Structures are given as structure tokens and as C-alpha cells.
Amino acid sequence: MRVANVAGTQEPIYGPSAIQSVANQAQTTPYTELQPEDLQWTAMESTCVETQVFYLTADSGHIGMAQVIYSNVAGIRTTCQFNTKIFYPNQSNGNQTPNLWSSDPLDNHGFDSRKLSFYADGCAVTLNDDATAYTVKSAINESSIVNLTVSRLAPGFQVGSNGKSYFGTDPHHPWGTMRHAFWPRCHVEGSIITKEGPIDFRGRGLFIHALQGMKPHHAAAKWSFADFQSPTFSAVMMEYTTPPSYGSTVVNVGGIVKDGEIICAGAANTAVHTEVHEDPETEWPEPKAVQFTWSGKTKAGEDVHAELAGGLGQRLDKVDVMANVPGFVKTLVGGVVGTKPYIYQYSPQQNLELKIKMGSDETVEEGVLFAEATFIS
């Protein structure tokens, strides 16, 4: 959820040569398995947005998110924010509990000596000693008190050798970066206590560590995101399209894993909105149906092709990003024409099927999809 993506100044047209996509690395190194140092916070002193986000797919039917955002605006001010969101399952009587969204600024943030764990007053996101589990605790908002443990069930990965795309006209001295690192398949234990009582989030999870080492709206004009969890498989995809200043270049990173192993991961994936309707309020092309495809090879060299397609059903939410970013950010960077970021969020009531073909074997499995489409400029 890119609530961190905000407006700012326009850029000249540099063209597609001014982005060195991680897809270039992926041609020779499709992905690398994450080591503990790959999970370190960068905590840049210049303009950046860095996040750790945990997507939760509970056995109870709840879908949730817990996120730490570290942002620095022009080296002038660093702020940290803790966000949680809970989507409630449809009730049999037709009633729908409203989504619960909490977003709180954090004071006195810091890191452990290895920069693997984050702390602030009333909040901690801690990686254990063997780098296999995070505990996420927050007591800063009494409407959502978080106590979760997210343990990875498969290796984590980053696409290419370091997960990074670079922005800038001189490849040796880039002025911006974009990086994603994934734990696609995790076991979640714990709860989020709301004013109505605790919600047990036991189930599956996805963890993403992301760094945008530049103004976020300069890096991406739109995003597509998929988090699919089924009994056997977990699939993740993050695709962004740069603004015209970088040639409207599409960068897609993702992969498919099962317990204990990465099936495939890389940059040869696609996210297509197969049916769209213009949202009259925002004029964005809101997706109604999607097709996500993954292509790669197993460690043994077998070709893998996977597809997840279907209708998105009724959306879970539409988020006006500018209404959800801290005021000082808007003051500093606001006022640019043509930037009106919105996030559309979905989880189809009718579970979709992931079709995976590995070599000559084909497997089809139903699971829970959480998807986002973000439009910025």
C-alpha cells in the first residue's frame, strides 16, 4: 500500500535510457535468495521512502496490513509512521464491518546496531537472531494494538543480484533507486486488538521491504500489486510504470514459492487489467478484472509459467493518498498539476485459481488474492 507516495515537482524528459531496470540484472541472475544483510534498513539521509510491510491473510477471512514507513524529505526532515489496516470478511447476514485504518506518527525512532530491527516509542519491528521471523508490536493506537509474529516458510528473494533499479542519466552515478525484497510465504501468529476486541490473524503472510531512494512520484506513475496465498503456493508481483520522464518504462518483479523453496522468481512477469471502468470521481481507469502471469525457471532449469486471472469483484477500498499523508509533506512538495494519487484495493469473494505449469506438469489451486492498483500521475 503506497500511502507513502506523494506529489512534488515535475521532471524533464530524460527518456528510457535514464533508468537501468533490475530486469537487466535478471537476464543473467533472475533472483538471489535474501541474506540477513539484505534486510537492513538503509535509512537514507536524502529524499527517500523506505517501508517494511506485512500483508496478512488470516484463516478467519480477515485481511490485514501492518507497515512502518521511514521517509526523508530533501534531507530536511525525517518522519516515521506506523500504519495498520483491517478488511473484515463479508458476514452471512449481508452486513459489512467498515475497514479499520490507523496511521500514527512515531517518535524517537531508531535501529539496532545491525539495522535489522526498528524501534520507536510504543512500536517495534524486530528480526530474530537467525533472520527467520519478525515480531511486530505496536501500542501507539488503542483502536489497533498489534502483536504479531511473521515467520518465513520459504527463502526470501530479491530480483537480480541486488533487487535495485537505478534512475539517472549516468549509470555510474544514479540519482535514484527502487528496490524490493520479499518473503512471499510466511506463517502468521498473533492478533490485532481493536476496540471491538481482538482479531486473531493466525494464517499466512507476505513481507516486503521496499526502498524508493528518490521522490516516489518521480519513480512511478502507476503500480499493480498481487499477493496470492493458497494451501501449497504463494505468489507475489509488484509492477510499476515510470512517468514519461523515464520513458514510461514498465518494471515488474515477482515470484512463486512453496514451503521451503522458491519455484521461480524474476522480472519476466506481467500484470494486465483486462477490464476497466473509468471512475467518475477520479477519472482513473479502475480495474474490474486482472491477469497476472509469471515466467521463469526452476533451480533444475525447468520452464515455469503461471497465471492468475479473473474478476476482482467489489473493491475493498479506494484510498485518497493525499488525504493520508502527513501535512508537512504536502506543504513541502504539494501543488503539482496532474498528480492525484489513489489506491484501489481488492480481494475477490470468488477465490481465483493459480495455474502453474512446470515442465510438463500442470497444477491448479484456488487461493486468496489481495490486489492493489495505484494511480499517481
Q: And the C-alpha cell for 65?
A: 496490513
User: What is the rounded CA–CA span in Å between residue 68 and residue 51?
Assistant: 6
pLDDT at position 332, please? 43
pLDDT of res. 323: 78
pLDDT at 331 over 50: no
pLDDT exceeds cutoff 80 at 135: yes
- Evaluate whether 219 touches 74 at the Cβ level (below 8 Å): no
Predicted pLDDT at 179: 96
What are the pLDDT digits (tens) for 281-299? Answer: 999 999 999 999 999 999 9
The more confidently predicted of residues 221 and 142 is 142
- Whether the per-residue pLDDT at 223 is higher than 80: the answer is yes
pTM of the model: 0.94
In the prediction, which pLDDT does 4 show?
41
Q: What is the pLDDT of residue 205?
A: 98
Q: Would you state the pLDDT for residue 92? A: 66
The CA-atom distances, in angstroms, between 98 and each of 87, 88, 215, 315, 349 are: 8, 7, 32, 13, 16
Residue 245 has phi, psi (to 5 degrees) of -60, -25
Task: Write down the pLDDT at residue 62.
Answer: 97
H or E segment to which residue 226 belongs: strand 222-229
- More confident call, 20 vs 327: 20
Cβ atoms 141, 182 nearer than 8 A: no
Q: How far apart are CA 1 and CA 4, in angstroms?
A: 8
Q: For residue 165, give the nearest of 182, 181, 178 by alpha carbon.
A: 178
* Residue 54, C-alpha cell as written in the block: 506485512
Instruction: Quickly state the pLDDT bin for 329 (edges 50, 70, 90).
Output: low
CA distance 152 to 262: 12
